[in-house]
Structure 1
Amino acid sequence: MKAVVVTSKGRTELQDFPVPEASSGHVVVKVRHPSTTAIALNPTDWKHRDFVAPPGSWLGCDFCGTVESVGDGVSHLQKGDRVAAFVHGGQWPGEGSFAEYIKVQASLVWKVSETIGDEEAAAAGGIGPWTAIQALFFRLPIDTPWNPNKEGEPFLVWGGATSVGLYAIQLLKLSGYTVVTTASEKNAELLKSLGATAVYSYSDKDTPAKIAKDYPTLRYALDTIAEGKTTVGAVKSIWDAAGMGKVITLLVNKDDELKQYKDKVPAEMTLVYTVLGVAFDWPGVSFPEMPEDKRQMEEWCAKHIPELVASGKLKPNPIKSFDGGLANITEGLDYIKAGKNRAQKVTYKI
Structure 2
Amino acid sequence: MPSNRAAYQPAPKAPALEARDAPYKPADADKLVIRNHAVAINPIDWLIQTKGDIMFTHLNYPFVLGFDVAGEVVEVGRDVKRFKVGDRVVGYARGTEPKINDPAEGGFQLYTVLRPQLTSHLPDNVSYEAASVIPLGLATAAAGLFENTALALDLPSVPAKPSNGKTILIWGGSTSVGVNAIQLAAAAGYEVFTTASPKNHKYLESLGASQVFDYRSPTVVADMVKAMKGKTAAGALSIGQGAAEKLMAILDKSNGNKFVALATFPLPQKEPQSLVFFRTAVFFVSWIISYKVKGMFKGIKSSLFNAGIISNSEVGRAVFVDYLPNALAAGTFTPAPKAEVVGEGLEYIQEALNIQKKGVSASKIVVRLK
TM-score (norm 2): 0.82
Would the alpha carbon gap of residues 75 and 174 (structure 1) be closer, same or farther in structure 2, given more than 3 Å must change?
A: closer
Three-state SS of the structure 2 residue aligned to 1:222 is strand
How much has 1:203 moved relative to structure 2?
A: 2.0
| Letter matched to residue 334 of structure 2 | K
Three-state SS of the structure 2 residue aligned to 1:323 is strand
How much has 1:95 moved relative to structure 2?
A: 2.6
Three-state SS of the structure 1 residue aligned to 2:32 is strand
Which segment drifts farther, 148-157 or 326-335? 148-157
1:328 equivalent in structure 2: 348
* Matching of residues 197-236 of structure 1 within 5 Å: 197-216=210-229, 217=231, 218-225=233-240, 227=241, 229-236=242-249
Unaligned runs of 5+ in 1: 32-36, 278-292
2:153 equivalent in structure 1: 142
| Letter matched to residue 123 of structure 1 | V
- For the Cα contact (< 8 Å) 2:69–2:91, is it kept in 1? yes
- Identity across matched positions, percent: 28
Unaligned runs of 5+ in 2: 267-286
Alignment partners' CA distance in 1, 2:348 and 2:29: 33
Q: Could you report, residue by residue, the CA deviation over 1:52-72 in whole angstroms, capped at 9, with x for unpaired residues? A: 354311111111111111222
1:50 equivalent in structure 2: 50
Alignment partners' CA distance in 2, 1:73 and 1:95: 18
- For the Cα contact (< 8 Å) 1:219–1:238, is it kept in 2? no
Would the alpha carbon gap of residues 222 and 46 (structure 1) be closer, same or farther in structure 2, given more than 3 Å must change?
A: same
How much has 1:137 moved relative to structure 2?
A: 1.7
Alignment partners' CA distance in 2, 1:111 and 1:261: 41
Would the alpha carbon gap of residues 243 and 258 (structure 1) be closer, same or farther in structure 2, given more than 3 Å must change?
A: farther
Three-state SS of the structure 1 residue aligned to 2:236 is strand
Aligned residues: CA RMSD: 2.0
- For the Cα contact (< 8 Å) 2:170–2:239, is it kept in 1? yes
TM-score (norm 1): 0.86
2:296 equivalent in structure 1: 262
Would the alpha carbon gap of residues 301 and 331 (structure 1) be closer, same or farther in structure 2, given more than 3 Å must change?
A: same
Is 1:194 aligned to 2:207, yes or no? yes
Alignment partners' CA distance in 2, 1:143 and 1:104: 27
Would the alpha carbon gap of residues 106 and 199 (structure 1) be closer, same or farther in structure 2, given more than 3 Å must change?
A: closer
- For the Cα contact (< 8 Å) 1:130–1:272, is it kept in 2? yes
Would the alpha carbon gap of residues 123 and 133 (structure 1) be closer, same or farther in structure 2, given more than 3 Å must change?
A: same
Q: Could you report, residue by residue, the CA deviation over 1:289-323 in whole angstroms, capped at 9, with x for unpaired residues? A: xxxx2x33123322211011121111011111111
1:4 equivalent in structure 2: 7
Q: Could you report, residue by residue, the CA deviation over 1:50-101 in whole angstroms, capped at 9, with x for unpaired residues? A: 2235431111111111111122212222211111111124563333111000
Would the alpha carbon gap of residues 76 and 195 (structure 1) be closer, same or farther in structure 2, given more than 3 Å must change?
A: closer
| Letter matched to residue 269 of structure 1 | L
Would the alpha carbon gap of residues 175 and 73 (structure 1) be closer, same or farther in structure 2, given more than 3 Å must change?
A: closer
Count of aligned residue pairs for this structure pair: 325
